[in-house]
Amino acid sequence: MITVDEAILTIKEQTKPLSLEFVDLENALGRFLAEDVVADSDLPPFDRSQMDGYAVRAADTQDAPVQLYIAGESVAGAGWHNEMLTGQAVRIMTGAPVPKGADAVQQVELTRELDGGSTVEIQRSPDLGKSIVRRASEIRAGETVLQSGEQINASMMAVLAAFGYAQVSVRRKPRVAVIATGGELVSVSQKPGTDQIRDSNNYSIGAYATLAGAIVKLMPLTGDSPTLLKRQISAASKNSDVIITSGGVSMGRFDFTKTVLNELDAKIFFERVALRPGKPIVFAQLPNGVLLFGLPGNPVSVSVTFNLFARTSLWAMQGAHESALAEEWAILERTVKGSVDRESYLPGRIRTGEAGHMLAKALNWGGSSDFVAFARANGLIKVPPGVARLEIGSTVRVLRLPS
Ligand code: AMP
Ligand code: MG
pLDDT of residue 368: 56
246 close to ligand 1 (CB < 6 Angstrom): yes
Say if ligand 1 is within 6 A of residue 60 CB.
no
Does 294 contact ligand 1 (Cβ within 6 A)?
no
Residue in 185, 204, 249, 303 to alter for ligand 1 test, most ligand atoms within 8 A of Cβ: 185
The C-alpha angle with vertex 262 and arms to 258 and 265, in degrees rounded to 5, equals 140
Do 343 and 56 form a contact (C-beta atoms < 8 A)?
no
Q: How close is the Cα of 199 to the center of ligand 2, in Å? A: 11
pLDDT at 60: 98
- CB crowding 371-399: b at 16 or more within 10 Å, else e: beebeebebbbbbebebeebeeeeebebb
Please tell me if the CB atom of residue 185 comes closer than 6 angstroms to any atom of ligand 1.
Answer: yes
- CA-closest residue to ligand 1 atom 16: 297
Q: What is the reported pLDDT for 372?
A: 78
Integer angstrom CA distances of residue 224 from 164, 246, 284, 358, 362: 54, 11, 20, 44, 33
Mutate to test the pocket of ligand 1, among 178, 179, 181, 184 (most ligand atoms within 8 A of CB): 184
Distance 81 CA to ligand 1 centre (A): 73
Q: Ligand 1, closest atom to CA 184?
A: 12
Kindly report the protein residue whose alpha carbon is nearest to atom 14 of ligand 1: 297
Least distant ligand from the CA of 245 = 1
β-bridge partners, 243? 177, 292
Give bridge partners of residue 120 from the DSSP assignment: 68, 113
Closest CA to 348 of 308, 312, 304, 305: 304
How far is ligand 1, taken at its centre, from the CA of residue 99, in Å?
Answer: 71
Ligand nearest to the CA of 184: 1
CA dist 243 and 226 (Å) reads 16
245 lines ligand 1 (CB under 6 A): no
Between CA 168 and CA 165 the distance in angstroms is 6
SS3 string, the chain, reads CECHHHHHHHHHHHCCCCCEEEEEHHHCCCCEECCCEECCCCECCCCEECCCEEEECHHHHCCCCEEEEEEEEEECCECCCCECCCCEEEEECCCCECCECCCEEEEHHHEEEEHHHCEEEECCCCCCCCCEECCCCCECCCCEEECCCCECCHHHHHHHHHCCCCEEEEECCCEEEEEECCCCEECCCCCCCCCCEECCHHHHHHHHHHHCCCEEEECCCCCCCHHHHHHHHHHHHCCCCEEEEECCCCCCCCCCHHHHHHHCCCEEEEEEECEECCCEEEEEECCCCCEEEEECCCHHHHHHHHHHHHHHHHHHHCCCCCCCCCEEEEEECCCEECCCCCEEEEEEEEEECCCCCEEEEECCCCCCCCHHHHCCCCEEEEECCCCCEECCCCEEEEEECCC
Q: 347: CA distance to ligand 1 center in Å?
A: 18
Q: Please check whether residue 99 is in contact with residue 125, taking contact to mean a CB–CB distance below 8 angstroms.
A: no
Strands 280-285 vs 185-186: parallel, antiparallel or unpaired: unpaired
Distance from the alpha carbon of residue 365 to the mean position of ligand 2, in angstroms: 20
Residue 282 CA, ligand 1 centroid: distance in Å: 15
- The reply to whether ligand 1 has any atom less than 6 angstroms from the CB of 303 is no
Residue 217 alpha carbon to ligand 1 centre in Å: 20
Cβ 247 under 6 angstroms from ligand 1: yes
CA 252 to ligand 2 centroid distance, Å: 8
Q: What is the mean pLDDT of each run of 10 residues along the chain (403 residues)?
A: 97 98 98 98 97 98 97 98 97 98 98 95 98 97 98 98 98 98 97 98 98 98 98 98 97 94 98 95 98 95 96 98 92 95 95 95 72 86 96 97 90
Closest C-alpha residue for ligand 1 atom 15: 297
> Domains, the chain, ranges and CATH?
4-18+173-317 (3.40.980.10), 21-42+148-171 (3.90.105.10), 48-133 (2.170.190.11), 327-400 (2.40.340.10)
How many A from CA of 298 to the centre of ligand 2? 9
277 lines ligand 1 (CB under 6 A): no
Is the torsion defined by CA of 386, 389, 395, 398 positive or negative? positive
* CB of 201 sitting under 6 A from ligand 1: yes
